[in-house]
Amino acid sequence: MYYPGCSVKDYAKSYEDSAIAVLKLFDVELVELDRWNCCGVVYEYSADAVMQHVAPLRDLIRAQEFMGRVGDNRLITLCSMCYSTLKKVNEIVTSDPEKLDNLSKYMDDEPRYNCGVDVKHVLEIILDDNIIGFKRVRGAVKRDLSKLKVAPFYSCSLLRPRGIGIDDPEDPHILSDLISSLGAKPIKFPYEKRCCGSYNVVYDRSMVERTVGEIVRAAGRWGADMIITACPLCHYNLNIVRNKFNIPTLYFTELMAYAMGLDEKLSQETLSIFKSKIGGG
């Protein structure tokens, strides 16, 4: 089962296109829920105890209804923020029956959620040896990326809070490992876990520009040609300063797609970025 989230249908469509194509190479099919709503992550940051959980819970119920069709209880997301909020709410209602009760009473227009959905980020699928695993990733690489220096950018939602995040929040390595398995050179740099500024870009753009400016400058100082991320909002924020430092930010699945020769799934712009960074590719 696949939960897309709003951004990958519009702004971050390239993330979805490349992800689906790459997973297909490994016989993993993402089946989109036939009905879903925005995960409500914006409202998650509100202090309102009911509103912040209604939207993601509704999606878990959608997944519950859809499960029978695909014979699988795993709900996969691409956007890290969607992942974080869906997983968090799943944990909350599973561990706190009274909370689930409250929410169910409010959402009397829905069937009751029975906590049977397993929320996963697509990276967990890719790195799971039982499903895909690094070995197979390496085996599918068709291009020589040895000259390409890629900085991993985890930011918040992939790593924090502990237990929800999919990697060690202090010393993450998933993306570096992925970069290595693709044959490119991972550039770990001190700001790889820093918050990109998130939705503050709407109210206080200059603050975000400062933050991402520091992040991207640092990546450059450590030698990166480009940055990869798993979050459309980080993608948007970091790319505010791409021209300033000549360091573009791409989705990790786009890097994977390029490595595996799935050129037709990438935009002309993205292809030319790769070509210019590698030099001829």
Q: Alpha-carbon distance 188 to 221, whole Å?
A: 11
Return the number of the residue (109 or 129) whose C-beta is nearest another protein: 109
* CA-based nearest residue to 128, from 185, 84, 178: 178
Among the listed ranges 49-57, 70-78, 93-101, 205-213, the one in contact with another protein (CB under 8 A) is 49-57
Residue 107 contacts another protein per CB under 8 A = yes
Among the listed ranges 46-54, 121-129, 131-139, 233-241, the one in contact with another protein (CB under 8 A) is 46-54
How many residues contact another protein, by CB under 8 A? 18
Tokens of 265: 């799934």
Return the number of the residue (7 or 155) whose C-beta is nearest another protein: 7
Residue 58 contacts another protein per CB under 8 A = yes
Return the number of the residue (55 or 228) whose C-beta is nearest another protein: 55
* Least separation in angstroms between CB 136 and another protein: 32
Q: Alpha-carbon distance 153 to 195, whole Å?
A: 10
* Least separation in angstroms between CB 6 and another protein: 4
Query: Cβ(253)–Cβ(18) under 8 Å?
Result: yes
**Footprint of another protein on 6-25 (CB under 8 A):** 6, 9-10
Residue 42 contacts another protein per CB under 8 A = yes
Q: SS3 for 132-162, per residue?
A: CHHHHHHHCCCCCCCCCEEEECCCCCCCCCC
Residue from 24, 29, 31, 35 binding another protein (CB under 8 A): 35
Q: Alpha-carbon distance 56 to 161, whole Å?
A: 17
How many H helices and E strands in the chain? 14, 7
Tokens of 88: 């968090």
Q: What angle do CA 226, 231, 233 make, to 5 degrees?
A: 95
* CA-based nearest residue to 123, from 170, 180, 83: 83
Cα dihedral: 238, 242, 247, 252 (round 10)? 40
Among the listed ranges 29-37, 112-120, 157-165, 186-194, the one in contact with another protein (CB under 8 A) is 29-37
Residue 105 contacts another protein per CB under 8 A = no
Residue from 30, 33, 55, 216 binding another protein (CB under 8 A): 55
Among the listed ranges 52-60, 72-80, 121-129, 179-187, the one in contact with another protein (CB under 8 A) is 52-60
- Give 271: exposed, middle or buried? Use CB within 10 Å, 0-12, 13-18, 19+: middle
Return the number of the residue (39 or 278) whose C-beta is nearest another protein: 39
Residue 92 contacts another protein per CB under 8 A = no
- Residues making contact with another protein (CB under 8 A): 4, 6, 9-10, 35-38, 40, 42-43, 51-52, 54-55, 58, 107, 109
